[in-house]
Amino acid sequence: MRKIVSETMFILLLIGMATLVFNTQLIKAQHTAILETMLFSYSIQVPAREVRAPNTLLTEGTHVRIAFNSSEPIDFFCQDSVEYSQSAASGWVLLYYHWSDKTANMNRIYVIPTTDDWYFTLANYEYHNVDVYNITLYQVTTYEIRAKAYQSA
């Protein structure tokens, strides 16, 4: 009796394993690669009470990384063309923007929400010049690389 139960259990185990093997998809390799393409890079001195705004045309859904470092904290605004025009028309008293920060060092990734000319605006509200040693915009593209092997049934 014990032998019959053992053989039955063994046969059921083999059937279960065979079913599992034929329905399994094996992933041989998976890797994520990130490619950054520089869109612009400038060294800028922002004079007292003035604005500098590097810009470029970007499409909806583009991931960008904006990085800069400056001699001291400076007001930064990420603006589409309408927001930039409205802010400029007000003499930079009324500000329109998607996001802003006041910092001396930035390294931020942002997803562009609409296709437009985008302005990466540096506004110096101080009474002395501010040196922006480097402001760089990168397009960030992520690739998923997968290699799969299938077992035939």
Distance CA 124, CA 128 (A): 8
pLDDT at res. 30: 79
- Low-confidence stretches of the chain (pLDDT < 70) are 1-29, 149-153
pTM: 0.76
At residue 28, the pLDDT reads 63
Instruction: Look at residue 143 in the predicted model and tell me its pLDDT.
Output: 87
H helix count then E strand count, the chain: 2, 7
Task: Annotate 46-84 with b (16+ C-beta within 10 A) or e (fewer).
Answer: beeeebbbbbeebeeebbbbbebebeeebbbbbbbeebb
pLDDT of residue 145: 80
Cα dist. 150→3, 28, 93 in Å? Answer: 37, 10, 63
The pLDDT tens digits of the residues spanning 125-135 come to: 999 999 999 99
Rounded-to-integer distance, Cα 7 and Cα 5, Å: 6
